[in-house]
A and B are shown apart, each in its own frame.
Chain A
Amino acid sequence: MSTPQFWSTPLRYLRWASHERPAIFYSLIIGSMGPVALVGLPPLRRALGDVDPETIPMSYPIPAGPRTFPKGYDDE
């Protein structure tokens, strides 16, 4: 039995690869689950009742409302 080709017999090739090249085959599966997790996990997490944590402040909060910037003190 010759080695199946991917393009002519994809399913048979996958079956052969999962038996003969398991490390690479399952690595591809696990790695391709990454983008799926990236898209699928946030809705799942929110559906299970998780709320996104509030952001950590890195500086003083900027007050909402009109602000007046002093003029004439900068190097013109």
Chain B
Amino acid sequence: MTFIKKTLASSIAIAAATALAATTAQAEISDGEVRIGYLADMSGTYRDLAGPGGLEALRMAVEDFGGSVNGAPIEIFSADDRNSADVGANTVREWVDTRNVDMVAGMVASSVTIAVTNVLKENDKLGIVSGSAASSITNEHCSPNHIHWVYDTYPLANGTAWAVVQQGGDTWFMLTADYAFGHALEGDVTRVVEESGGEVVGGVRHPFPTDDFSSYILQAQGSGAKVIGLANAGADTVNAINTASQFGVVEAGQQLAGLLVFLNDVHAMGLETTQGLLLTTGWYWDMDEEARAWAERYYERMERMPTMVQAGVYSSTMHYLQAVEATGSDDTATVRKYMMEQPINDFFARNGRLREDGRMVHDMYLAQVKSPADSTGEWDLYEILATIPAEEAYRPLSESQCNLVQN
């Protein structure tokens, strides 16, 4: 009997031990490594916005974290998505299938982001989107498998359009890039303008991409609107602003409102052309001591000041790695849950909080481009006019179409 008891007891113990081992294995870091893939446009239109600079920011985060989490080394790999949804989705699918990637960072063009997040959802991996602008990423395209970190079109429209109307710019002419993103931005702006008591008196939808904006600027001038809203991005915005400056739009009393303007765009166009432009940004390198300290470290490596996207890659990676460390797991649901529980306050995000729809809300800033006389250096480009509190900046959950939100 004793013998039987003993065997029984020991086999139960063994079974229990195995079960325990199994559960701890689940909570452990898969493959003993934290694998992060960085996917972005490395050679096309959005190269300067995210590109190699974002990868460097990711590396900085990993180095600052010490290169490993709880003894598990952090491995980074990267790829150029060439702004193609196929290439992006394909690369990530391969990372999942052959390298068992844990988290994918970067992601700029919204077509790529939507394609990639579909793959991530299917395979239950985590994506942290820093580059994309489309607010649909955490609205109709939301999933438990991705997070949108830096900004989206909602606060951009909200911040800039509201501020411009407050300053008396109450009649608008919209220059809209003729594709889904432009239409969405135009819709957001129109809503904000009308809610703030203004009116959109006309608009034109231009092909994407367009080099020569003179015809559209002339139409905008002819409309008599006080404000010309630019619902486009990247090279289109740059071209439109340049052309407006040549046609003396500002001198003639009209104002430009760039809705999606990045630091690298302003840098490329120069202050002469862009001075006075109002814009909303998620972060600016010179906004305070902490931001400056980080930006200067980045500058030493890249010889450029970071954009908000590049800073966001660092910030989000740090937050992610802290979550992996605290939970001891790289399982998507576990990590994401922890990331949602922890408030986010670092050199990048103030009053940051990750919502259930995957949107990281944080304070946004209304900025104005400095005049050449006020600027003290190559990268001294913005003056921060106001802070838009996190909870007001982003689309409220009550308006969300995301299926993770209970309305």
A and B co-occur in one complex: no
